[in-house]
Structure 1
């Protein structure tokens, strides 16, 4: 067997990172854990990689992501000395073929590994507005018959129905419906001939559906998959010259990042959404500023967080109607952002009060949010030492929990059982545990 050639690219990147071999291995293991992989790499594995042994194909994206997070910039396969995979390189595909392939792979669980379904990447290239405007012009005319505004209304109505199902029952069952609709109806519509205004409206409707599908993937913890849907939503919004959906998608990407603890990245995305929003009205401004406040608080910037939060509160007060949510943003959402900011700056009492107000004013249709946020409220009540109040709140979350299918709700309930373990002698706790255990699924982890 011939002698392997050392991987000079990976050597350079490791030197730039300042990591030891052991720290590098630990970082890759941590990224792997986010995808459900139990990796046990150590410094000897890193030494083998540097000497020219190629990491398994499943592990290479994890290596790139670990380096990107450390270096604060994208790291390409070529730069790391890994073989390229052109089919998955951003921008290398026909945009509509890429959309159909994404939907097909999502509909087939056996192929989700190709998407990096569980891996959230801070190094993802987010296309700017000038990069996506008009990108689909080259494939405007297709083989199908001409479409009209009735077809656009069909896509919009289907998206609204799927969104309502997601809010009430969670995305576990609704997302496959969305993926199938993208494959079988939306992509062919985008290839069909149409007048200019109809085409723009169809692109906008398709963008909104991609955003929703990405949001539902987040709900299941499929973060790499969600990011690819979000990028498709940005591309379609740009082609439609739809600033609203473009900004909404950037904000959704910020929500995903902040929930995963990537505050700096989340704030960058939230600021980009605010900057791209043309002449935002008060409700849209509240929608954007509330997310900026949450992300800023996670970065440790107390002053900026409180400034953005005040801006969101003032904008909400000016909104023409607080009875109708904008993109699910309403007084309950604003109070949730206030609760998150208060908690991150150390005001747990204020956070609990804001979450209680959020629960009081939340619309009944948002059942999934009600379960998750009540569970989070109970966690913070317990952090204050209010065990009885926390148990009461968790019981209210359990009232709705069997009606939804949501990975994030499952995570909150597993956290409840973990937090209650030290209190097993308490009668109220035992009653809550006995009620919850038959309902809460165990965490299924993929081993390697």
Structure 2
């Protein structure tokens, strides 16, 4: 346990040389249960030449918030190298510094949340194996600090990653583990977890469980208070998106389009620019799937308007798919214009 955050294993070299080849997702990754990770880092030998206090913990938490904002605004490929460098150069030495028990616990909790966020960025960048390594380290740090809420949220994030890659069964396992581990049962948290369970169940072909979980998420959103928390917000807009994902996975493409259209008027300032582009491009693909060419082109145009300055591997892939999806409609001037726009945007 001496190397709390191993730059070599996690690929957190600020030069990013280690990022190549880090894209393989493992469906067989072992996930430690909460009792197995609690307090496992207590025997670490502290560096007698460095001491930290609550000021350093607050600095890590503040930096995590800033990095989260950058990730939302500019994408994972932009923010991930900064988060990785901060983990290696600043947070790792803090974790090995001398400190009071309270400070050490707080620092491990803050580091856990930062590792989770960095994993989320790596998913957006498209390095899924690396993301799983960040997530695994986050679980370990959460257990060491007794931060069960972050542990639960990491499992939920891992389920989102698996679901977005089309792995329904692992997504269910992770979503259920997150729900079982949750240390609180507020309406917002129940919605946050049940919404992901619904999507995972739908991908795994478990229709009845998917609809039951979706109804639970709907009830919880209706009960929830208006405030949203960092890394845990689940709103009516999020519910509409989750409903769209469930419907699409269950084969109701038209219903999926309707739910995704419902999502956009419900968005507020807490929703990221990245998700607006991502969901807009997703809406376009599904509109085309049901034969609504002009509506799809209009949705793609909006996504392309917002695309400059976004550094997201996921969105890059969505934009790169446009020419092939519209290839059969090249004779249509509206479609041809979107193809040309997307080609120019992808070349930049």
Answer yes or no: same fold by TM over 0.5.
Answer: yes
CA contact (8 A) 2:115 2:138 kept: yes
Gaps of 5+ in 1: 1-92, 443-448
Aligned to 2:140: 235
Write out per-residue CA displacement over residues 28-67 of structure 1, whole angstroms, 9 at most, x where no aligned residue. Answer: xxxxxxxxxxxxxxxxxxxxxxxxxxxxxxxxxxxxxxxx
Q: 2:324 aligns with which of 408, 418, 428?
A: 418
Displacement of 1:101 in angstroms is: 3.3
Distance 1:168 1:95, change over 3 A: same
Question: After alignment, is 343-352 or 315-324 more displaced?
Answer: 315-324
1:246 aligns with 2:151: yes
**Matches of 1:243 and 1:323 in 2, distance apart?**
19
Aligned to 1:334: 239
Q: 1:285 aligns with which of 190, 201, 208?
A: 190
Distance 1:106 1:127, change over 3 A: farther
What SS does the corresponding residue of 2:51 show, helix, strand or coil? coil
What SS does the corresponding residue of 2:300 show, helix, strand or coil? helix
Aligned to 2:109: 204
**Matches of 1:326 and 1:253 in 2, distance apart?**
13
RCO greater where, 1 or 2, for CA within 8 Å and sep 6 or more? 2
**Matches of 2:236 and 2:229 in 1, distance apart?**
10
Q: 2:2 aligns with which of 94, 105, 111?
A: 94
1:157 aligns with 2:62: yes
CA contact (8 A) 2:109 2:145 kept: yes
**Matches of 2:73 and 2:233 in 1, distance apart?**
13
1:398 aligns with 2:304: yes
**Matches of 1:347 and 1:417 in 2, distance apart?**
25
Displacement of 1:371 in angstroms is: 0.5
Gaps of 5+ in 2: none
Aligned to 1:378: 284
Aligned to 2:180: 275
**Matches of 1:130 and 1:371 in 2, distance apart?**
40
Q: 1:257 aligns with which of 131, 156, 162?
A: 162
Aligned to 1:312: 217
Distance 1:246 1:169, change over 3 A: same
1:109 aligns with 2:38: no
CA contact (8 A) 1:104 1:183 kept: no
* Rg larger for: 1
Aligned to 1:350: 255
What SS does the corresponding residue of 1:412 show, helix, strand or coil? helix
**Matches of 2:178 and 2:316 in 1, distance apart?**
30
Question: After alignment, is 410-419 or 315-324 more displaced?
Answer: 315-324
Aligned to 1:299: 204
Number of residue equivalences: 347
Displacement of 1:198 in angstroms is: 1.4
CA contact (8 A) 1:103 1:183 kept: no
**Matches of 1:304 and 1:232 in 2, distance apart?**
31
Question: After alignment, is 428-437 or 265-274 more displaced?
Answer: 428-437
TM-score, reference length from structure 1: 0.74
**Matches of 1:290 and 1:409 in 2, distance apart?**
23
Question: After alignment, is 182-191 or 102-111 more displaced?
Answer: 102-111
1:216 aligns with 2:121: yes
What SS does the corresponding residue of 2:265 show, helix, strand or coil? helix
CA contact (8 A) 1:143 1:191 kept: no
**Matches of 1:112 and 1:395 in 2, distance apart?**
32
**Matches of 1:111 and 1:406 in 2, distance apart?**
18
What SS does the corresponding residue of 1:143 show, helix, strand or coil? strand
Write out per-residue CA displacement over residues 192-248 of structure 1, whole angstroms, 9 at most, x where no aligned residue. Answer: 111222111111100000001011111111011000000000000000100111000
- Segments of 4+ in structure 1 off by > 6 A? none
CA contact (8 A) 1:356 1:377 kept: yes
Q: 1:435 aligns with which of 332, 341, 344?
A: 341
Aligned to 1:128: 33
Displacement of 1:140 in angstroms is: 5.3
Write out per-residue CA displacement over residues 240-299 of structure 1, whole angstroms, 9 at most, x where no aligned residue. Answer: 100111000001110110111110011000000000012321101100000000000001
| CA RMSD of superposed structures (Å) | 1.7
What SS does the corresponding residue of 1:136 show, helix, strand or coil? coil
**Matches of 2:74 and 2:19 in 1, distance apart?**
23
CA contact (8 A) 2:228 2:234 kept: no
Distance 1:102 1:182, change over 3 A: farther
Distance 1:104 1:315, change over 3 A: same
Structure-to-structure mapping, 1:20-59, within 5 angstroms: none
Distance 1:320 1:144, change over 3 A: farther
Distance 1:119 1:326, change over 3 A: closer
Displacement of 1:106 in angstroms is: 4.1
